[in-house]
């Protein structure tokens, strides 16, 4: 099994966390030609990272679809509860991440790649990020995002919160944990868990290399 991956990518890190939790063997591969390249689009037409290539050649794109596939295929160390209601809660958490929490951060990332963005645009996106973080603070569980068990919700949130810790102040915002004690307590737990420690450690190393450039 091959994961088209970049260690810096928060969505690829989301999937690596699930692979590490389940102890599944996989090979990491850079997207041929880079993200969005014509060569990579032959494998994943949308061109985004991550995508999982199975040993039979099938390519599964989209972090959430890959994570659901991994859960179906490798039920050990479950990332979803058994009951339908609990599964809805976890899926709601990763969907909140994908649809509402992460997009306003993503909108300002081009600035890190040298693109000029309007100051008001950045300020508006920071207001939106902080309002989503407040919603997360009011809903987050303990010790894990959706309660007693580590889940796909934690896998979705952790790599983006890592980005926010490292990036929000550079965009003129307070850090995501500041004034949010439940989120800060959850983040302390994330730093102790082997799967997140490893995956976010890789993300950190890739961020350090990116910052050096
Ligand atoms: N909905 C996608 C989002 C993936 C995504 O945005 N990946 C970024 C890297 S973190 C990417 O590939 N960007 C390049 C592009 O959009 O062409 C998923 O969950 O996998």
Among 36, 54, 73, the domain-final residue is 73
Q: Where are the alpha helices (DSSP H) in 6-151?
A: 10-22, 38-43, 63-73, 84-96, 102-108, 119-139
pLDDT of residue 99: 98
**Looking at ligand 1, which residue's alpha carbon is closest to its atom 11?**
48
On whether both 130 and 58 belong to a single domain, the answer is no
- Select from 11, 46, 162 the residue to mutate for testing ligand 1; criterion: most ligand atoms less than 8 Å from CB: 11
Among 73, 95, 117, the domain-final residue is 73
Structural element, H or E, at residue 194: helix 194-212
Among 73, 103, 121, the domain-final residue is 73
Phi and psi based region of residue 55 (left: phi greater than 0; alpha: psi -120 to 50; beta: remaining): alpha
Chunked into runs of 10 residues, the chain (213 residues) has average pLDDT values of 98 98 98 94 96 98 98 98 98 98 98 95 98 98 98 98 98 98 98 98 97 88
Q: Is residue 10 within 6 Å of ligand 1 at its C-beta? A: yes
Longest CA span, the chain: 49
Q: Is residue 7 within 6 Å of ligand 1 at its C-beta? A: no
């Amino acid at each position: 099994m091959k994961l088209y991956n970049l260690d810096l990518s928060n969505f690829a890190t989301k999937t690596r966390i699930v692979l590490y939790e389940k102890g599944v063997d996989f090979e990491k591969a850079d997207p041929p030609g880079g993200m969005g390249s014509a060569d990579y689009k032959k494998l994943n037409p949308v061109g985004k990272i991550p995508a999982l290539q199975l040993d039979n050649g099938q390519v599964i794109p989209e972090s959430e679809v890959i994570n659901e596939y991994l859960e179906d295929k490798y039920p050990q160390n479950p990332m979803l509860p058994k009951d339908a209601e609990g599964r809805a809660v976890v899926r709601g958490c990763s969907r909140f991440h994908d649809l509402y929490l992460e997009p306003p951060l993503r909108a300002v990332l081009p600035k890190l790649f040298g693109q000029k963005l309007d100051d008001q645009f950045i300020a508006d996106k920071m207001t939106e990020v902080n309002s989503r973080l407040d919603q997360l603070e009011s809903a987050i569980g303990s010790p894990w995002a959706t309660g007693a068990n580590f889940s796909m919700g934690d896998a979705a949130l952790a790599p983006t919160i890592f980005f926010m810790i490292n990036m929000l102040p550079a965009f003129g915002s307070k850090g995501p944990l500041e004034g949010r004690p439940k989120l800060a307590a959850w983040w302390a737990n994330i730093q102790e868990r082997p799967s997140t420690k490893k995956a976010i450690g890789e993300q950190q190393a890739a961020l350090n290399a990116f910052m050096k450039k």
